[in-house]
């Protein structure tokens, strides 16, 4: 069956609202896969989804994360106009906010002939290729997910894109967060992804000026299409 992927830009959206929407799309694909296994010859078409969005200030803690990596209390959360959610992805704590491209690929990994590890590798590859177009040399850090800078320089390693996914029945959800024009001060209130000895950066910080957010978004979408070889109708 042909692989079709629908792209949706949700713009600025409340975290819980986007999470609920993800769950609905995720359930649709899982239910279709189960139907197809029971009805050979009468299969329904599976439609993968790629969602882009921004969130208001929010901290999310993965199922294996530690709450003490959030360094502030409820009152201070309100003071900085942020919310906090425990969620069902892998990984520890991270921050989402304006100026950050958050991507939620809801993909049937079996259809793409991918295991979870190779899926994450391809996500990282699309990010690495995107920031390379802006003259930012990024790479991977052994033992950690995401996209990093200066991993070979002691005390200089910093993350430009966090990745945390969930996969069940080989269907993915949650995804990545690329810091474009992100207010990095919000990361001071957590141990990002559980690390206490590594920094966080953004394209704006690395390049010394605010970036054209929509242009970066368009570039990133194209890189994901290329790396995953997606059939994505215009």
pLDDT, tens only, 186-206:
998 887 555 556 789 999 999
3-state secondary structure of 213: helix
Categorize the per-residue pLDDT at 1 as very low, low, confident or very high, splitting at 50, 70 and 90.
very low
| Beta strand residue intervals within the chain, DSSP E | 4-12, 47-54, 58-61, 83-86, 93-96, 100-106, 139-141, 144-149, 158-168, 171-179, 199-200
Domains of the chain, start order: 4-228 (3.30.930.10)
| Known catalytic membership, residue 53 | no
What is the dihedral sign for C-alpha 74, 195, 144, 158? positive
Q: Which has the higher per-residue pLDDT, 62 or 132?
A: 132
* Residue of 193, 221, 227, 230 with catalytic role: 193
pTM of the model: 0.92
pLDDT, tens only, 10-61:
999 999 999 999 999 999 999 999 998 888 777 788 999 999 999 999 999 8
DSSP 43: P
Among candidate residues 201, 58, 193, 53, the one with its CA nearest the CA of residue 131: 201
């Amino acid at each position: 069956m042909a692989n079709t992927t629908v792209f949706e830009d949700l713009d600025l959206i409340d975290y819980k609202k986007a999470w609920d929407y993800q769950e609905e799309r995720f359930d649709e694909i899982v239910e279709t896969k189960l139907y197809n296994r029971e009805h050979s010859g009468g299969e329904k078409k599976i439609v993968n989804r790629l969602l882009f969005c921004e969130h208001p200030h929010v901290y999310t803690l993965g199922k294996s994360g530690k709450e003490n990596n959030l360094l502030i209390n409820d009152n201070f959360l309100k003071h900085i106009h942020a919310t906090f959610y425990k969620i069902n992805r892998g990984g520890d704590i991270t921050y989402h906010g304006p100026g950050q491209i958050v991507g939620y690929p809801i993909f049937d990994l079996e259809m793409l002939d991918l295991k979870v590890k190779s899926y994450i590798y391809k996500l990282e590859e699309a990010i690495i290729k995107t920031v390379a177009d802006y003259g930012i040399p990024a790479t991977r850090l052994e033992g950690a997910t995401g996209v990093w800078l200066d991993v070979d320089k002691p005390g200089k390693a910093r993350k430009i894109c966090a990745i945390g996914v969930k996969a069940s029945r080989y269907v993915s959800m949650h995804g990545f967060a690329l810091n474009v024009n992100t207010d990095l001060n919000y990361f001071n209130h957590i141990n990002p992804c559980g690390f206490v000895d590594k920094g966080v950066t953004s394209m704006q910080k690395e390049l010394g000026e605010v970036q054209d957010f929509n242009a970066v978004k368009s570039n990133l979408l194209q890189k994901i299409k290329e790396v995953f070889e997606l059939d994505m109708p215009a």
